[in-house]
Amino acid sequence: MADLEDNIQQIKETITQAFPKPPGLKEKSSANALKDRLDWGEPALTIIDVRDREAFNCERITGAMSMPLDELVEQVRDSLEPVRDIYVYGETDQQTAEAASCLREAGFRNVAELEGGLPGWKAISGPTEGQGFNAAFSDQ
């Protein structure tokens, strides 16, 4: 009987190694952890940028949604399920923490604070989109 249990355990370990899981959601997330999930092809997450719309339009994490902090809870309630994995980032880690707290208080259970925000994302060469600095200031 012990041999059978050992064989079952070995099979479980082999299957787990053959089908690894993407990294899970944590309350505070590094840019690398988010990039790993995106590289995995994980479609079940949303990235929210709580900076003002001008900053968002200039440059943002590819695929991020603009939901400025003062509109955040109302917009999220109208567009996302409370069990959705949400990564949030702002201008500073303090703004990010405030946004995450608002979301958690509103009933969203799976919220991760993206530490370092956009600069942290760019530091690992994470893809961005937007008008960019030069395009935003070329007409001045």
The predicted-structure confidence for 57-98, as pLDDT tens digits, reads as follows 999 999 999 999 999 988 888 888 889 999 999 999 999 999
CA gap 23, 37 in Å, rounded: 6
The reply to whether CATH 3.40.50.720 applies to domain 22-137 is no
Residues of the chain with pLDDT under 70: 1-2, 7, 11-23, 42-43, 133-140
pTM equals: 0.79
- Structural domain spans, the chain: 22-137
CA gap 39, 126 in Å, rounded: 10
Which residues neighbour 92 within 8 Å (Cβ) at sequence distance 6 or greater? Answer: 117
